[in-house]
Structure 1
Amino acid sequence: MYQVGWDKQEIQIKPKGYAMFGYGQWSHRAYEKRTALYVRSFSIVDQQQNRLIFCCVDLGCITHAMRNQTVTRLQQSFGSAFNENQLVLTATHTHSGPGGCAHEALYNMPTPGFVPEHLSAIVDAIILSILTAIEQEQETEIFLTTQNFAENIPVAWNRSIKAYNRNPDVIHYSETETHLAMNREMQLIGFYRAQKLQSFISLFGVHATCLGNNLKAHDGDNKGYAAAFSEQALIDQGIQNPVTIFAQATAGDVSPHFHGKNQLKIRNKIKGEQEYQYAQQNGRYQSELALMAFQHPLQQIKGEIDAVLSYVDLSNIEIPPEFAAGHVGAKTSQPCHGVAFFAGTPVDGLGAPKPLIKAMQFLANQYRKQKTKHPLASDFTAYQQLYASQGPKLIFLEAGAKKILGQPIGFPPSMLDPLIAEMNRQIKVGAIQQSPLVPSVVPLQIIRLGQLALVCCPGEFTTIAGQRVIHTVKQVLADQSDIDRVWLSSYCNDYMGYVTTYEEYQEQAYEGGHTLFGQWTLAACQSKFKHLAEQLLQGKHKRNDDQGYDQTTRPKPIPEQELVKRTNHGNLKTAVGQGEAV
C-alpha cells in the first residue's frame, strides 16, 4: 500500500498576443483562451517514506528554467527531505500553449523573447499543484495495465515513413499503412481506493498538433481533451476530484493527422472550428481506450520507490562500440540545426517556403564543400569532426557556435523573415553574447515504482529510437527480477529537440534535421541510460560514492544582464509591429 495524493491547478496566464510554442511561427499568436491549461500532479510515497512526484503540464515542453525554479522552491519547503532525483516534470506537448518560457535564446525568438510572467505563472501552478497533492495523500493501491488501439481507430500515423523503413529492426510498411508504423500501445498506471479507480496516468505517443498554426487561442489539444473527458467520466461514476494525466511516450514521428495518399488535401479540409472538433475526437479516442483498459486484468504494483538522475553534456560524448554500429571514433558534436528543421513537416506544420529551403540547401552544400577541401585551413580538423558527427545533415545553423553558414548569427538581412529580424534585434542589444541558443547539458532520469522502471527523456524520441532505449535499459535490469516492466516518458525535465535512430537520421527528414547532436545522438543516450540503469541497481549509499554517477554537472547559469535584454517587458506591440513590417 502507498500513500498517494493528486491535484490539478490552472496555469494563470492571460493571452496577450505572444506567440505560442511549438510551430515556431511568428504569426501563431494567442489572443484568447479556448480551454484552460493545467498542471496535474501525483505524489506517491512508499513504506520507507520515499516520495515520487510526477507532474504533467499542458505546455509544448519543459525548460531547465521551469525545473530549476521548481526544485529551488521545493527545497525551500522541504529542505533535505526533498530529493530532486524523484521529481518528474513532463509536458503534453500541446502546440497551443504559451511560449517564451526558456532562458536559452533560440526557441523564444517567435514569442518574441523571454516572458518572465509566463515562467512565473507556470512555476506557481506547478508548486501549488505539488503541495496540494502532498496534502491530499491517502492510502492507495496502484495497478498497471496496457491496451492497444485497434487498427481501425484513426488516432495516429507515422509521419516519416521513409525514415522509419530505413531501420533494419522493423516491419516495412507502405504509405497506406502509416498507422501501423508506430507503437499503438497505451500504458497506464491506475490509482485505486476502496477497489475503485480514482485517478490514473496514461502514456501514449502522438503529437498534440490536431490544432494547426493558424488558430489564435490557448488550448490543451488532444491530450488536454483526453484528460478532461476522463476526469468527467470518473466524476460521473461518483469519484471526487479525479486527476488524469495523458502524458507522451514515443511521439517524435507520430502525428494525429492522416499520412498517406492525398495527405495535404485531407489535412486542409480540417479548418477553424473543425480543428477543435478534430482535437476533441482524438482526445476522446485516448480517453475511451484508457478507461476501457481498466476493465481488463491488472498488475498490482508493490515495492520501493527509487530514482537516478544525471545531467549529461550531449555535445561531446564518445560512443562506446556496442552502440556505434561498428563505427570507430564515433562522437556527438555541438548542436546544429539542419535545413530540414527549417522546412518543417508537410502535414503538421510547414516551415520556410520551398524556394527559400532550396536556396538554404544549396548554400549549406557549398559551405560544406568549402570547409572540407582545404586541409591546411586552421579550422579544417574541427569541421571534419563536426561533419563526421553530423553526417548527411545540411547544417544551416551551428547553434553551439552561434553561426549561420559559418558567419556569426545576425548576418542575414532582416527582410527575409521576422524571426531573423528578432534575432538581429537581440544580437544588436547584446542579448546572446554568452547565452546558449539551445540546451546542451540535459537531464536523463530513470524512476522506479515497484516493478516498473520509467525512463524519462528530455526530447522527442521517435518510435524506434524509444524502443531501443527501452531495450538497452531492460538488458541491464534483467537481473533485477522484480522489475518486469520498462516504459518510456518523453518531453521530461527539459527540451533537447529530436532523437532519431542512426538509420532514420540518414533520411534527413524534419526529425533528423532537428536531432541536434548528430547521427550518434541516440547512441549517446543509450550509453548514458545504460549507466543510469546500472546505478539504479546499486544501493543508494553506494551509488552516491560512485564517481561514475555524475551528480555535479549542471547547465551554466544564463547571464542575468542578457536575460533582461531578451525580455520584452510588455513591449510586445512594438516587437510584433517591427516584425510584421519587415
Structure 2
Amino acid sequence: MTAATAGAATTASGFTAAQAAPTQWGGDPTFLIGRAVTDCTGPAGGVGFFGYGDTQQTGRGVHMRQRVRAFVIEDQSTGEHVAIVVAEILSPSNAVRQAVLSRLGRRAPGRWSQAQVVISSTHTHATPGGATHDQLHNVTTWGFHRRSFEAQVDAMVQAVLAADADKAPGHLRVSRSELTDAGVNRSSVAFQRNPVELQSALPGGIDPASVTLRFERDGRTDAVINWFATHSTSLMNTNRLISGDNKGYAQYALERMDHGVDLMSGSRPVFVAAFANANSGDITPNLNLAPGQGPTSDQFENMRIIGTRQADAVRSQLASAGDPVGSGVEARITYVDMRGYAIRPEFSGTGRTERTGWASLGTAFAAGSTEDGGGVSIFSEGLGGNPLLSTLQAWRYRVDRFDAAVQSPKVCLLSVGAMDWVQQQVPVQLIRLGKYWIAAMPGEMTAATGVLYRRAVAAATGAQEADVLVHGTCNAYTHYVTTPDEYDSQQYEGAATIYGRHSAGAFCQVLDQLGRAMVNGAPVSLGSMPPDKSWTALPSLQGEPPTDLPEFGRWFGQVIEQPTNVGPGATVRARFVGAHPNNDQRRGNTYMAVERNDAGAWVRVRDDQDFDTRFEWQDRGLGVSRVTLSWTVPQGAAGTYRFVYTGNRKTAIGTYQSVTGTSRNFTVGG
C-alpha cells in the first residue's frame, strides 16, 4: 500500500494528509556527498546593486568577496542525486538558472536535469545587479549587465562540477535549535490579521527554527547548510561595498574563524558552511525596526552580531550528534503559469475556486519597507495611504471584475506582467532527502506563508511538519508571497505579492501536487517554461570601463597616502593611484592584501575575504581612479605589516596590464 492510498485525514491547516508511514524512508544509509566553493564576485565599480531598488546605490568596492557554495548528494543504491547551490547574491534569475543548466549539460551530458539542481541565494542586498533578462529587476543597472551575469553563471557551473567531483561516502544528519534574537517581524500589522492558530505557530511573529543539514565524512562534520528566517539587510542602501551581509558573516565565522579556511589558497577547504534563506519575507535583522538600527547603530557591527548569532546557533547544534536523515533522494520540479492559475476550494480558503493573475505591483511596494529602507517618500504602506490612486483603482475594479477578484484590495501602481517585465511562469521544486522535504520556492514568502507551505507538504506526504524545510529565493525572483489576510493589509509585502491575493494557496496546491507525485513514484510535467528573453534584454547603460589614466604627474600603483603605526582596535589605511576594478573582477583572487613580516618573509594575513578589511574605489572622472585599502586591527596582532594593491588597467588600444602597489611598512603595537 502506497503512502497516497493509506487513508486520509484532515490537518489543522485544512489540507488532506496522505498518511505516509514515517518509517518508509528510515535508516542511516551511506550517501555519496561532495561540496565546493567558488568566487562569484561581480563588478565592484559603478554597477547598481540589486535589492533596495535604489538607483543611487552603485558599487564602490568590496567589503567581503561573494561566493557560491554547492553541495551534491547521491543515493548509492539508486544513483538519484541532487545539487543544492547557495549563492551570495540577492536571488537567482531565470536567465542565470537556464544558462547554468545549459552549460552543465555541455560539461556533463545527461547528468543534471531541471529537477536535480536547485539554485538559491543568501539574499544579500549588497550585490551587483543586472544578471537577469527581466527589465524590472535591471532598473538599478539601467539594463542587463553581462559581467554580473557571467560571474554568477560561471561560478555556479564550476561549483556544481567541483562538488560532484568531490563526492565521497558519508552520512547526512539534521540538527535544530531555536534562535529568537536575530530577527523581528517588520510587518506586524499584517501578521496580526492571520488566524489565531497560524499566529500561535509563530510566537512573536517570527519563525525561530534554525535547521542544519550536516555532511559527515570521515567521522566529522565536513559541511553544513543552515536554514533560518531573517533578511540579509543589516547593511543599508547607503552601503556601496559588495558584501555577504549577516548570512555571509555567519559563513565566514564557521569557515574562516572556526576552521581557518582560506578560500584563496586553491586547496580543498576543510569545512564549508552555507546559510540559506528561509521564510524571511517579513523578518528583519534590524531589531529596532529602522534601517541600520539594532542591536547597534553601526550597520557593519549589526551585520557581525546578527551573523554571529546565526553561526552560534549552528555551533551549539554541532556540539551534539544530529539525527540521520533516512534513506533516499528524490526531486521534482514544475513550472506554473501564474497568469490565471486555478486554485481549488480546499487551497483557496474561500470555499470556491480562485485564480492568480498577471503580475502587478501595488503602491505600497513603491513605499519600500520602512524598517529596512528603500522606497519613494511620496508613497505609503497600507490601504488608504495613496488616496488619488486608491480612488482610480476602485473605479477600475468596478469595471474589471476579474482583476478585482485576483488583486483587490491592492492599489495597482505597475502592471509589470502586462509589460513583460517580470517572470510569470515560475518554478516550484520539491526535494526529498530521507524523511526530510525541502520546498524550494521562488521569491520571498512571509513567516506565516512558510508555515502554510510546510503544512501543505506534510499533508501531501505524511511527513512531520517540522521535517519540511522551506527554502526561499530559489530558481527565480518573483517578489513576495503573503497569506490572504496579510495581503489585505497591503503593507510592502502584500503590495509586492505580484500574482494576487491567492498566491499562497496556488503555491500550496502545487506543493501538494509534487508531494503526492513523489510518494506515488509518479512523474510530473515540467510545465510551461518561461520564454527566452535574452534577445530583448537591453545592455546596461552603465557599460564597460573606460581607458584608465593615472592622475597628472603620478603613476599607476603609486602610494598617495601611506599607512601609520597603530594599535589594536584602530583602522589603518593606504591610498593608491589605481585602475577601474571592473577590468578584472579578480575572482578567486584579491584586490588587496595585508602582509605581515614573518622572519623576513612577507605572509598574506588579510585580503578581500575578511570582515575587517575594505577595498574602496573612487572614480575621479576621465578614467582616473583612486583606491583605498583599510584594515581594522584586531587584538593580538602585534607586528610589522604592509598593504599590497593589485588590479588591471585598460590601455588605449583595449589591452590590459597588471597594476601593483605596495605601501611602506607599518607597525601594530601590542
Q: Same fold (TM over 0.5)?
A: yes
Determine if the alignment matches structure 1 residue 365 to structure 2 residue 390: yes
TM-score between both structures, scaled by the size of structure 1:
0.83
Match in the other structure for 1:425: none
Q: Residue 343 of structure 2: which of 290, 295, 319 is its match?
A: 319
**Offset at residue 354 of structure 1 (A):** 3.5
In the TM superposition, 1:80-99 aligns within 5 A as 80-99=110-129
2: CA distance, partners of 1:527 / 1:460:
17
Contact 2:261 2:271 in 1 (8 A): no
Determine if the alignment matches structure 1 residue 215 to structure 2 residue 239: yes
1: CA distance, partners of 2:163 / 2:291:
46
Higher strand share: 2
Determine if the alignment matches structure 1 residue 306 to structure 2 residue 344: no
The SS at the match of 2:110 is: helix
Q: What is the count of residue pairs matched by the alignment?
A: 512
1: CA distance, partners of 2:379 / 2:86:
40
1: CA distance, partners of 2:434 / 2:546:
49
**Offset at residue 240 of structure 1 (A):** 4.8
2: CA distance, partners of 1:269 / 1:484:
29
Q: Counterpart amino acid of 1:370? A: W
Q: Counterpart amino acid of 2:437? A: A
The SS at the match of 1:563 is: coil
Contact 1:156 1:179 in 2 (8 A): no
The SS at the match of 1:550 is: coil
2: CA distance, partners of 1:355 / 1:477:
43
Contact 1:234 1:242 in 2 (8 A): no
- Gaps of at least 5 residues in structure 2 are 1-29, 263-267, 548-618, 620-670
**Offset at residue 292 of structure 1 (A):** 0.7
Match in the other structure for 1:26: 55
Contact 1:258 1:266 in 2 (8 A): no
- Cα gap change, 1:565 to 1:224, in 2 (>3 Å): closer
Q: Residue 456 of structure 1: which of 440, 444, 456 is its match?
A: 440
In the TM superposition, 1:92-491 aligns within 5 A as 92-149=122-179, 151=180, 154-170=181-197, 180-235=204-259, 240-259=269-288, 263-264=289-290, 267=293, 274-354=298-378, 361-373=386-398, 380=399, 383-402=400-419, 436-478=420-462, 485-491=467-473
Match in the other structure for 1:536: 518
The SS at the match of 1:17 is: strand
Q: Deviations over 1:509-552 (max 9, x none)?
A: 0000000011000011111111011111122xxx33xxxx3224
2: CA distance, partners of 1:268 / 1:339:
28
- Cα gap change, 1:387 to 1:355, in 2 (>3 Å): closer
Match in the other structure for 1:521: 503
Match in the other structure for 1:2: 31
**Offset at residue 107 of structure 1 (A):** 1.3
- Cα gap change, 1:359 to 1:519, in 2 (>3 Å): closer
The SS at the match of 1:107 is: helix
- Cα gap change, 1:329 to 1:190, in 2 (>3 Å): closer
2: CA distance, partners of 1:192 / 1:508:
45
Determine which structure has more spread, i.e. the larger CA radius of gyration: 2
2: CA distance, partners of 1:302 / 1:264:
43
Contact 1:40 1:56 in 2 (8 A): yes
RMSD: 2.7
2: CA distance, partners of 1:519 / 1:371:
17
Q: Deviations over 1:456-514 (max 9, x none)?
A: 00110111101011101101111x79x98211111100011100001110110000000
In the TM superposition, 1:40-119 aligns within 5 A as 40-47=69-76, 48-119=78-149
The SS at the match of 1:146 is: strand
**Offset at residue 362 of structure 1 (A):** 2.8
Contact 2:35 2:164 in 1 (8 A): yes
Q: Residue 551 of structure 1: which of 526, 536, 553 is its match?
A: 526
Contact 1:114 1:568 in 2 (8 A): no
- Cα gap change, 1:559 to 1:141, in 2 (>3 Å): closer
Deviates most, 6-15 or 458-467: 6-15
**Offset at residue 11 of structure 1 (A):** 1.4
2: CA distance, partners of 1:267 / 1:563:
37
Determine if the alignment matches structure 1 residue 492 to structure 2 residue 474: yes
Match in the other structure for 1:410: none
- Cα gap change, 1:120 to 1:13, in 2 (>3 Å): same
Match in the other structure for 2:658: none
**Offset at residue 233 of structure 1 (A):** 4.6
1: CA distance, partners of 2:503 / 2:494:
10
Determine if the alignment matches structure 1 residue 506 to structure 2 residue 482: no
- Cα gap change, 1:515 to 1:484, in 2 (>3 Å): closer
Q: Deviations over 1:146-199 (max 9, x none)?
A: 1112x4xx31101111111111144769xxxx9821111101111112321111
The SS at the match of 2:497 is: coil
**Offset at residue 237 of structure 1 (A):** 11
Q: Deviations over 1:302-338 (max 9, x none)?
A: 3111100001111211110012223434211111100
Contact 2:454 2:468 in 1 (8 A): yes
Q: Counterpart amino acid of 1:76? A: R
Deviates most, 549-558 or 383-392: 549-558
2: CA distance, partners of 1:105 / 1:34:
28
**Offset at residue 571 of structure 1 (A):** 8.2
Q: Deviations over 1:229-259 (max 9, x none)?
A: 0113542599953110000111001000125
Match in the other structure for 2:616: none
TM-score between both structures, scaled by the size of structure 2:
0.72
The SS at the match of 2:213 is: strand
Match in the other structure for 2:537: 563
1: CA distance, partners of 2:436 / 2:380:
48
Q: Deviations over 1:253-308 (max 9, x none)?
A: 1000125xxx449829956xx21111011111111110111223421123111100
Q: Deviations over 1:45-81 (max 9, x none)?
A: 1112222101110001010011000000111122223
Q: Counterpart amino acid of 2:441? A: C
Match in the other structure for 1:428: none
The SS at the match of 2:426 is: strand
Q: Counterpart amino acid of 2:416? A: A
1: CA distance, partners of 2:397 / 2:34:
58
Runs of 4+ off more than 3 Å: 169-173, 236-240, 263-266, 268-271, 354-360, 564-569
Contact 1:18 1:112 in 2 (8 A): no
The SS at the match of 1:40 is: strand
Q: Counterpart amino acid of 2:484? A: Y
Match in the other structure for 2:568: none
Contact 2:429 2:440 in 1 (8 A): yes
